Amino acid sequence: MNYLESRVLHPRFPRKVYSMSVLRAENITKMYPGTVALDAVSLSFESGKVHALVGKNGSGKSTLVKIVSGAEQATDGGVFLDDKKLSFKSPMDAFDSGIATVYQELSLVQGMTAAENILIGRLPEKNGFIDWKTTYKKAETLIRELGVDIAPDAYIYELSVWQCQMLEIVKAASYNPKVLLLDEPTSALAQNEVASLFKMVRLLKKKDVIVIYITHKLHELWEIADTCTVLRDGKYIGSVEMASGTHKEVLGMMFGDLEIKRRPADLRVEDEVVLSVKGLSRKPHFENISFDLRRGEVLGIAGMLGAGRTELLRALFGADRSDSGSLIFNGRRVDKPTPEKMRDAGVALTPEDRKRQGLNLLGSIKDNLCYASLPLLADGYFVNRKREDEFANRQITGLEIKTASSLDPMTSLSGGNQQKVVVGNWLNISPKVMLFDEPSRGIDVNAKQQIFQIIWEQSRKGISSIMVSSELEELLEVCHRILIMRAGRIVDEVRPESVTIEELYSLCMGAA
C-alpha cells in the first residue's frame, strides 16, 4: 500500500475499513405537477468504481442526483446504502450519511483561502480561538493526498476555474464520503485540466469510494468510467460495462427510436448575407469564430455545456466585449458593439435565463412587451400611452399570449407565455436578426412548438435567427443549418436532413 492509499482523508476522523459498499435506488418515483420526472427507477452502484450516469436533457438524471444528495425527496421508493434505508430532509443529512455532492455551480467563498473553504464549519480551535497553524496543516495534507497543486493559503479569487473545481472535490472528500456525486465536473475545463481531475477521481476510486459521474461528454466515459448507466424520459434503460460498451450502444440507449419532426418546407433561405462574423474571440470562452448568416435562415449552434455557445451569442449582441475579430451587419462593420447599438441596428437577444435577464417579474405584461422598443414609444421625454397599448396588444394577439389583461403581472403567466413575452418584447423593434438562447427551456411541449412556429414565421418574413439549444433534437427540427461548437471553437457544420440525432451528439461530445 502506497503513501496516498495509507493516509486518512481527514486526520480528525480516521476512515473506517468497509467491505464493498453498495448504493441502491429502489423504485424511485418523483412527480411534479403535470410531470413524472422519475418513473420507478431501480439501479445500484458499487464502491471502488466510477459509475457514469448519462442521458439527454430531461432524462431525469439531475432529479435522481438531487434525491440521492438530499436536495429533493422522492414521491415513492427509497435509497439504500449498505442495505440501510436512508431518509434525508436536507443535503446535510446526506453528508452525515456519507454522501457528498460536487455541483457544476461552484460554492466556494471568494474572499476566503483554500484552507478555510475546505474546513469551513470545522475549523480547528485552541483555547477558544481558531488554530490557524493546524487549519493550514490539515488542509495541506488533504490537498496533497489528492495530488492537487494549490497553496492552502491561496485566496479563491486568485485561483483558476479548474483549480476551484479540484478544490470543491477536495472539500467533499474531506468528509470521508462513501459516495461522491460529481455533476458535470469538466464542463469548463481544458483537456490538460481534465487529465488532472481524472487523476484525482482515480485516487478516490482506490479508496473504495462510490463515484457517480454525471457528464454530457460521451468520450470521457471510456477514459474515466467503469460502468455507464442510462436514463431516458425518467426511466432506467440499462447499464453497460465500459470495457465492452460502444458509442453506438450508449447512444442507442440514450435516444431509442426518437422521431425528429422537420421544419416546414416553405422556409426559404436567401443568398443575401445579413451578418458576417470573422475571427471573433473572447478567451477563454470561444476563439476564432467565423460564419455567415443569410436572410431568412434559422442557424443552429450545437454543443455541450461549456462549449461557449451562450458566450458567443452575448458577444454578438454586445453584452460581452470580444477580444478580437469583427462583426459585419448588413454590409457595415460594427465597431465595439453594445446592446443599445445592436438593438438600434436590428439585432435582438432572448437570453437563456428569462426570469433574471429577459423579464422584469415585478412589472406588468405590457411593460415587459415594450422595454426594448421604448425609443419608438417616446414623444420627447414621455411615453405615448396609446402607442404603447398598440405595441403590447399587437404581440399579445399575434403570439397568442394567454392573459386577461396586459396590465396583469408577469407572475400570472405560465412559463411558455412568459417566454412569448420575451420574444414579443424584441419583435416590437422589427428586428432583422433574432438570437435565441435556449428558447424552449422550462416550458411544456405545446409551448415549445408555439415558440418554434414563431421562429419559422419570422423566417417567412425574411428575419434571420441563430438558435442555441441543449436539446439537440430541437435543432434538427427547427434549423436550416447547424454549427458544431466544442471547447470554444466551431469544429463542424451539418445539415439537419443529413445527420441523425446520435451522430449530432457524437460530434458535440467529440466521440465521432
What is the tens place of the pLDDT at every residue in 159-207? 887 888 889 889 988 888 899 999 888 766 666 678 888 988 998 899 8
How many CB atoms sit inside 10 A of residue 20's CB?
11
Which residue's entry shows cell 466585449? 321
The alpha helices in 50-149, defined as continuous H runs, are: 61-68, 91-96, 114-118, 132-145
As a whole number of angstroms, the distance between CA 31 and CA 29 comes to 7
pLDDT, residue 444, reads 66
217 and 137 Cβ atoms separated by less than 8 Å: no
Poorest-confidence range of 53-57, 73-77, 488-492?
53-57
Give the C-alpha distances (Å, rounded to integers) separating 402 from 121, 355, 410, 417.
Answer: 49, 18, 11, 7
Which of the four pLDDT bands, split at 50, 70 and 90, describes residue 1? very low
As a whole number of angstroms, the distance between CA 348 and CA 426 comes to 6
% of the chain beyond a pLDDT of 70: 93
Q: Taking the C-alpha atoms of 280, 282, 283 and 284 in order, what is their torsion angle to the nearest 10 degrees?
A: -110
What is the tens place of the pLDDT at every residue in 348-368? 999 988 888 899 989 999 999
What is the tens place of the pLDDT at every residue in 120-153? 988 989 988 999 999 999 999 989 888 888 999 9
What's the pTM value of the predicted model, to 2 decimals?
Answer: 0.66
27 and 40 Cβ atoms separated by less than 8 Å: yes
Poorest-confidence range of 192-201, 305-314, 425-434, 489-498?
192-201
Which of the four pLDDT bands, split at 50, 70 and 90, describes residue 90? confident
pLDDT, residue 274, reads 97
Poorest-confidence range of 54-63, 117-126, 339-348?
54-63
What is the tens place of the pLDDT at every residue in 215-253? 877 778 898 999 999 999 899 999 999 999 888 888 888
pLDDT, residue 60, reads 87
82 and 73 Cβ atoms separated by less than 8 Å: no
As a whole number of angstroms, the distance between CA 163 and CA 178 comes to 23
Q: What is the mean pLDDT of residues 266-295?
A: 95
The alpha helices in 69-219, defined as continuous H runs, are: 91-96, 114-118, 132-145, 161-173, 191-206
As a whole number of angstroms, the distance between CA 481 and CA 110 comes to 41
How many CB atoms sit inside 10 A of residue 34's CB?
6
pLDDT, residue 6, reads 32
pLDDT, residue 8, reads 33
Which residues make Cβ contacts (< 8 Å) with residue 450, sequence separation at least 6?
399, 400, 416, 420
* All domains in the chain, ordered by first residue: 10-112+178-255 (3.40.50.300), 260-346+431-512 (3.40.50.300), 356-430 (no CATH)
% of the chain beyond a pLDDT of 90: 55
309 and 349 Cβ atoms separated by less than 8 Å: no
pLDDT, residue 119, reads 92
How many residues make up the chain in this entry?
A: 512
Between 20 and 268, whose confidence is greater?
A: 268
pLDDT, residue 11, reads 37
Q: Where are the beta strands (DSSP E) in 189-297?
A: 210-214, 227-232, 235-241, 273-282, 286-294
Between 300 and 91, whose confidence is greater?
A: 300
pLDDT, residue 197, reads 85
What is the tens place of the pLDDT at every residue in 22-37? 999 999 999 987 778 8
Which of the four pLDDT bands, split at 50, 70 and 90, describes residue 495? very high
Which amino acid type is present at position 508?
Answer: C
pLDDT, residue 195, reads 82
Average pLDDT, the chain: 88
pLDDT at 459 exceeding the cut of 70: yes
